[in-house]
């Protein structure tokens, strides 16, 4: 069973349907025991970093997610959920994150369109169970802030949007995708399917 962590700010329906379409059982839940008992967990997210962390903190789910990560079972953050895995964000002030991956989340800066929205091609930087058998295809992004991992080897894939932009991260059992795999056609479903196989 895959726990989809419900803290009130996720694209829960589309992620749930994608997981079920790939043949896994999905449970949308904010229950500590259900999350900790799951074979895999997904932290989705849409909205602002500070608001999301405030909701996680208010509900106690921040510590549940940290405990889940410490259990060694696979955890995947999607979009804002990936950004929450990092140490901090500068979105609308300075906010502490879950600090599962060292690094910061910063706003795109430059004379180009923000948010970064649309289909962009992935470039894989190293081998990972997430990308096994997957071609460097196009996936769907919607974001105004991007992650800067402090540890180079945490970076699995980037895309190009006026600069190299973090697309997939991972260390041990903790993974993140900045794009929406559930909205990214065959490539996105392959990546999500690889995560589910890890579970």
Q: Catalytic site residue 79? A: yes
Q: Catalytic site residue 13? A: no
Strand positions, DSSP E, the chain = 2-5, 26-29, 40-43, 75-78, 86-89, 95-96, 101-107, 116-121, 123-124, 138-143, 145-149, 155-160, 164-171, 174-177
Q: Cis omega before residue 63 (within 30°)?
A: no
Catalytic residue among 95, 116, 182, 199: 182
Catalytic residue among 79, 91, 143, 146: 79
DSSP letter for 14, please. Answer: H
Catalytic residue among 104, 143, 180, 199: 180
Active site (catalytic) residues: 79, 180, 182
């Amino acid at each position: 069973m895959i726990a989809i962590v419900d803290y009130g700010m996720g694209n829960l329906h589309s992620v749930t349907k994608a997981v079920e379409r790939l043949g896994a059982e999905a449970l949308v839940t904010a229950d500590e025991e259900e999350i900790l008992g799951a074979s895999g967990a997904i932290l989705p997210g849409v909205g602002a970093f500070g608001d999301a962390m405030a909701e996680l903190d208010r509900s106690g789910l921040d510590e549940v997610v940290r405990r889940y990560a410490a259990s060694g079972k696979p955890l995947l953050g999607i979009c804002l959920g990936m950004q929450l895995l990092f140490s901090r964000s500068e979105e609308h002030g300075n906010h502490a994150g879950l600090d599962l991956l060292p690094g910061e989340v910063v706003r795109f800066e430059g004379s180009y369109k923000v948010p970064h929205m649309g289909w962009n091609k992935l470039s894989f930087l190293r081998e990972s169970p997430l990308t096994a058998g997957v071609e460097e295809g196009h996936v769907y992004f919607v974001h105004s802030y991007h992650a800067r991992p402090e540890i180079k080897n945490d970076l699995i894939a980037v895309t190009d949007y006026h600069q190299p932009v973090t697309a997939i991260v991972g260390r041990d059992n903790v993974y993140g995708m900045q794009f929406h795999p559930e909205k990214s056609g065959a490539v996105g479903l392959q990546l999500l399917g690889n995560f589910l196989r890890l579970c």
